[in-house]
Amino acid sequence: MIDLHVHTNVSDGQFSPAETVNIAAETGVRILSITDHDTTAGVREGLEAAGRAGITLIPGIELSTDHHNELHILGYFIDIDNPKLIAASNGFGEEREERAERIFKYLWGKGVNITEESVYRHAAHSRLSRTHFAKALIEAGYITDFADGFRKYLSNGEFKLIDSPKYSAGECIDLIRGAGGAAVLAHPYTLYEDAAGLERIVRELKAAGLAGIECYYSSHSRKQTALYLALAAEIGLVATAGSDFHGIYVRPGVSIGTGTGRLNFTDESVVEELYKAR
């Protein structure tokens, strides 16, 4: 199996990079990419673990853009020592720290009585993310699950007013390509566009250097997958696959390699196509 979209506790996942690689190997994944949010800090540990486990790990990242919906760009085969990428990642980290302070004040202002300690203890050595806040909110009884937390507090209109400034999609693609990588549109269903709107966006991204679309994904329906595959073929983009695994505590029902049960992607030629598209 191939899984090109997983997260570790270096961003908002449950397991360390080494643990994530070991879970992948035990599940039958042969080619994996760690794509933590805005950082490659876990890739080196993942590469070492992959060498021990006998699987291939592709250095990756996932970048959030300033598009009005959740437009994320995945980067593959990137040079994790690229100075511009490191500088941008450090900047993202500093902004996340500042955002964390704004989130605490925002939640306290809404009468949510959680402590900084209750959130930070979920982050281990990673940067604070909305997932860490959601865990604390669940434990304190303010929400029932992650979806409830994002709907009530962490992804609504009020939250977006305090969210971090982000790069444009074109800037994210340039950053990935500048680090020797291939840029891929992540989970296109989150754009909530009709077929015409999605095609317009994807063509604009292709002109900016986009190499692929994540057609096979845990939350995509068969109809959506077929739409994205047709679009990728028409525009000339690589069709990739990823589970968006975070761990069962963070994202229940999504397993590494198989997603919600039917991902099971095995076409290794996609990896070669991505490499050539850098």
What pLDDT score was predicted for residue 135? 85
Query: What is the rounded distance in angstroms from the CA atom of residue 94 to the CA atom of residue 114?
Result: 22
The answer, yes or no, to whether residue 42 has pLDDT greater than 90, is yes
Rounded average pLDDT over 55-71: 91
The answer, yes or no, to whether residue 4 has pLDDT greater than 70, is yes
Confidence band (pLDDT; 50, 70, 90) for 75? very high
The answer, yes or no, to whether residue 98 has pLDDT greater than 90, is no
Buried b (16+ CB within 10 A) or exposed e, 247-267: beebbeebbbbbbeeebebee
pLDDT in tens, 187-215: 999 998 999 999 999 999 999 999 999 99
What pLDDT score was predicted for residue 255? 95
> In this predicted model, which residue has the larger pLDDT, 43 or 150?
43
Nearest by Cα to 76 from 89, 58, 57: 58
How high is the mean pLDDT of the chain?
A: 92
Give me 224's structure tokens: 């959506």
Which of 7-11, 33-37, 132-136, 204-208 has the weakest average pLDDT? 132-136
